[in-house]
């Protein structure tokens, strides 16, 4: 199932959170995805530099039919094409590259390039990006930066990542972000080391509950 640009934006507004999984081991990545899905997170990104990313994406598409599985950390056209072939339903890049945006549009798959400055954000949007990832958000002031962008760029849907936590996720939504991406804070090292997937599922559910209470 391909998501149209509008359908993608609707899902973002509905779910608000994307779990970003970067795993050095296939089994670990699989368990991480299952745990956040149990916790209620329906948007899951498998970074392309994860172990056997293409296999993991394909398996999760099969095993988590109610989730939307995408990929990220796509650095070039070859990786983007392989991600699409694996079944990724959305595509994140850490940078703005027009060729990648155009390739995703041609495949009718949402692409979310990473940008930081207003110039980069507008360049990505004007090239046809589905929305824009603002990364690394912690380095430029967090939620206050998203809020400052709303005046001139409020028409562009933004997804901050790189410093979003369970504690501050709501702040970004209040500041005007359409959704947030979380990685490390959803998967605390202490819980990962012992494979406490129930606790990680609870972390995910805590986040989703915050957004639902807002709604």
- Measuring CA to CA, how many Å separate 44 from each of 32, 61, 69? 10, 10, 5
Q: What tokens does 8 get? A: 């993608």
CATH numbers and ranges of domains, the chain: 5-205 (3.20.20.70)
pTM of this structure = 0.97
User: Cα(19)–Cα(21) distance, rounded to whole angstroms?
Assistant: 6
Comparing CA positions, the residue from 198, 203, 159 lying closest to residue 185 is 203
User: Cα(76)–Cα(104) distance, rounded to whole angstroms?
Assistant: 12
Question: Tens digit of pLDDT per residue, the chain (215 long)?
Answer: 678 889 999 999 999 999 999 999 999 999 999 999 999 999 999 999 999 999 999 999 999 999 999 999 999 999 999 999 999 999 999 999 999 999 999 999 999 999 999 999 999 999 999 999 999 999 999 999 999 999 999 999 999 999 999 999 999 999 999 999 999 999 999 999 999 999 999 999 999 999 887 75
């Amino acid at each position: 199932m391909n998501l149209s640009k509008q359908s993608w934006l609707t899902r973002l507004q509905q779910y608000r959170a994307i779990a970003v999984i970067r795993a050095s081991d296939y089994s670990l990545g699989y368990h991480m995805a299952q745990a956040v899905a149990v916790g209620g997170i329906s948007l899951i990104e498998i970074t392309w530099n994860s172990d056997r990313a293409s296999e993991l994406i394909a398996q999760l598409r099969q095993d988590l039919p109610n989730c939307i599985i995408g990929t990220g950390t796509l650095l070039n056209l070859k990786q983007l094409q392989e991600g699409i072939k694996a079944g990724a339903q959305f595509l994140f890049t850490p940078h703005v590259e027009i060729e990648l945006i155009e390739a995703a549009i041609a495949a009718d798959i949402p692409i979310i390039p990473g940008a930081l400055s207003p110039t980069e954000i507008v360049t990505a949007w004007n090239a046809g990006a589905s929305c824009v990832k603002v990364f690394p958000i912690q380095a430029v002031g967090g939620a206050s930066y998203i809020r400052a962008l709303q005046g001139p760029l409020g028409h562009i849907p933004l997804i901050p990542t790189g410093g979003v936590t369970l504690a501050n996720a709501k702040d970004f939504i209040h500041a005007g972000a359409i959704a947030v991406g979380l990685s490390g804070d959803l998967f605390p090292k202490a819980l990962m080391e012992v494979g406490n997937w129930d606790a990680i599922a609870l972390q995910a559910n805590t986040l989703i509950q915050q957004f639902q209470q807002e709604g």
